[in-house]
Amino acid sequence: MLNNVKREIPKTIPGFGDVIPFKGVWQHMPMIHTAPVSLVPSGKGTVKKLHSIEQALDACELKDGMTVSFHHHLRNGDGVLNQVMEAIDARGLKDIHVAASSLFPVHAPLVSLMEKGTVTRITANYMLGPVAEAISNGKLTYPVVMQTHGGRARAIEVGDLSVDVAFIAAPACDLAGNLNGVEGPSACGSLGYAVPDAHYAKRVVAVTDHLVPYPANPIEISQEWVDFIVEVDSIGDPEGIVSGSTRLTRDPLGLNIARKAAQAIEASGLLVDGFSFQTGAGGVSLAVAAYVREIMRQKKIKGSFASGGITGYMVDMLEEGLFRSLLDVQCFDLQAVNSYKQNPAHQFMSASMYGNPHNRGAVVNQLDVMILGATEIDTDFNVNVTTGSTGIIMGGSGGHSDTAAGSKLAIVTTQLLRGRLPIIRDKVTTVTTPGESVDLLVTERGIAVNPRRKDLEEKLNEAGIPTTSIHQLKQMAEERAGTPDPVAFEERIVGVVEYRDGTVIDVIRQQKQHFK
């Protein structure tokens, strides 16, 4: 059957089950019943600290076929997922479902566990590296489920993603299970993505390398959610967790695009007192922030909040008084970690508060402007950030679809040509974010407004900002670089792309091997 973004989706996908096809942004809004949580009460005098991960597996009665979950705040420095999976492998468990909010190159040992059948299911919001490549090459028994940050929180809260044991990497933890991300050798700041797991998993194990006296201060995830505590030598490599500082790009192409995006934001009429803003940590995104900052200074605009993954650059804007508050689901650098620790205006938010479409209202719905990237964008403004030009998984929505849907103005910034590859296509290889939720495309050779947003086009033109059609931009790129052939795939489905509301927006098929 064809879904709302004209993708052919099977009614049932083996290993995934029955499919609800994507119906459109904000079209699937059922009455919600959150999942019941079964728990084992801890009475007075209960000792939660266990000796080892192995002992935690016993205490949680982990069995074949169960689901274990992990958060990705330690990013490519994470040591917890690999330690837990090694212990699971050592006891010969099979058919384990790994529900990690994101997977990075450091998680490469999962590949051999996939090949052995220890791991047969994976759910993630973003993945990059050997695991993603192995999945694209058909090495996982069942299709990977790619979610969004808000969609994962939704899935856990309603029981679509039922977690048996959540292993929560805890940079600091006390003996009752209160934990935070701001202390210890692996401090990473906000632990926003771990909250749904802590609240809804049947068993919760905090894995820490930094035990602190009771009570931990601050408390991000509190003791009533934590069953067990395991102390290990190290939960991660600080080098891979947060960068020292985030530097602004000097890339002239990126700056050219960023300046155009900032001018469009100014012309949109949204850049007034109370302005709210989110952008990623990439070069162009930060450069947009730099130009927006300049406009805010000149016009003496005081914004309400910036949100999402937070960088030192956003911290500077907060401290300069350009925003009243930061809402932080994840810290990207040490400056953000320190600010989060010390500044009460730098506030915590959980993954659900950030982007869950089926709670009583998420932060993304308050966003004025969101800056997004794209691996590909098609002439219907659908965006792919899941698969690369060869069809291999090398990303995922993360918060892309959530913020696009919620914000008043969702801007995709991208080069028209990356290397020699045109980015605008007739059809994207994989739909991650529906074009319905994307308002504007900004490239080095021009700006295209989604035809749904005539109002926006008028505002830009009134401000003297020329616009063009996405078809014309596509033609400009193809005149220079030619038209790329579509990527060839095998029939087998290796991934299901879930929209944030749990409907299926696309599937990923196995990469065709040209050089066997």
Partner 1 sequence: MKGLRRSMLFVPGNHPGMIQNADIYGSDSIIFDLEDAVSLQEKDSARLLVKHALRKIDFGETERVVRINPLDTGCGTQDLKMMVAAGPDALMIPKATARRLIEADLMVGEIEAALGGNRQPLAFIPIIESAVAVEEINELLKASSRIVAALLGGEDLTADLGIQRTKAGDELLYARSRVAMACCACGVDAIDTPYADTMDDEGLAKDTAKGKTVGFTGKAAIHPLQIEVIHRVYAPSEAEIHEARQIIRAMKQAEREGKGAVAVDGRMVDAPIILRAEKLLQQAKAMGVHDMTDNVNGGA
Nearest to 78 by CA among 235, 210, 244, 205: 235
Provide, rounded to whole angstroms, the least separation between the CB of residue 268 and partner 1. Answer: 20
Nearer to partner 1, 255 or 349 (CB): 255
Sequence-distant contacts of 212-217: CB under 8 A, at least 24 apart: 212/172, 212/173, 212/174, 212/183, 212/184, 213/174, 214/174, 214/175, 214/176, 214/178, 215/174, 215/176, 215/178, 216/172, 216/173, 216/174, 216/178, 216/179, 216/180, 216/183, 217/180
The position carrying tokens 């894995």 is 207
- Rounded distance, CA 171 to CA 166, Å? 15
* Residue 250 binds to partner 1 (criterion: CB under 8 A): yes
Q: What is the maximum alpha-carbon separation in the chain?
A: 73
Cβ closest to partner 1, residue 213 vs residue 252:
252
Distance, CA of 378 to CA of 412 (rounded, Å): 12
Q: At closest approach, how far in Å is the CB of 258 from partner 1?
A: 12
Verify binding: residue 253, partner 1, rule CB under 8 A: yes
> For partner 1, which stretch binds (CB under 8 A), given 104-112, 413-421, 427-435, 448-456?
413-421
Tokens of 104: 């990075």
DSSP readout, 131-167?
HHHHHHTT-SSS-EEE-BHHHHHHHHHHTSS--SEEE
Query: Which range touches partner 1 (CB under 8 A), out of 75-83, 200-208, 351-359, 479-487?
Result: 479-487
Question: CB of 202: closest distance to partner 1 in angstroms?
Answer: 52
Cβ closest to partner 1, residue 232 vs residue 481:
481
Residue 294 binds partner 1, judged by CB under 8 A: no
Query: Residue 432 gets which letter from DSSP?
Result: S
How many positions of this chain bind partner 1 (CB under 8 A)? Answer: 14
Comparison of 42 and 256: residue with beta carbon closer to partner 1: 256
Min dist. Cβ of residue 443 to partner 1 (A) = 9
Q: Please tell me whether residue 256 binds partner 1 under the rule CB under 8 A.
A: yes
> Which residue number, 192 or 422, has a Cβ lying nearer to partner 1?
422
- Give the total residue count for the chain: 516
Of the residues 213, 419, 466, 491, which one makes contact with partner 1 according to CB under 8 A: 419
Q: How far is the CB of 470 from partner 1 (least distance, A)?
A: 18
Tell me whether residue 408 or residue 445 sits nearer to partner 1 (CB atom): 445
Residue 466 contacts partner 1 per CB under 8 A:
no
Asked if 317 contacts 276 with a C-beta cutoff of 8 angstroms, the reply is no
Considering only 63, 91, 480, 492, the residue that binds partner 1 (CB under 8 A) is: 480
User: Contact letters (x/-) for partner 1, 434-453, by CB under 8 A?
Assistant: ----------xx--------
List beta partners, residue 139. Answer: none
Inter-residue contact 144 to 135 (CB < 8 Å): yes
Whether residue 218 is preceded by a cis peptide bond, meaning omega within 30 degrees of 0, is yes
Question: Does the footprint of partner 1 cover residue 255 (CB under 8 A)?
Answer: yes
Q: Quick one: tokens of 12?
A: 């049932």
The binder of partner 1 chosen from 472, 481, 487, 490 (CB under 8 A)? 481
Q: Least CB distance from residue 333 to partner 1, whole Å?
A: 22
Q: What DSSP string runs through 168-180? A: EEESEE-TTS-EE
Which of residues 462 and 479 has its CB atom nearest to partner 1 in the complex? 479
Nearer to partner 1, 288 or 431 (CB): 288
Residues that bind partner 1 in the complex, under the rule CB under 8 A = 250, 252-253, 255-256, 417, 419-420, 444-445, 464, 479-481
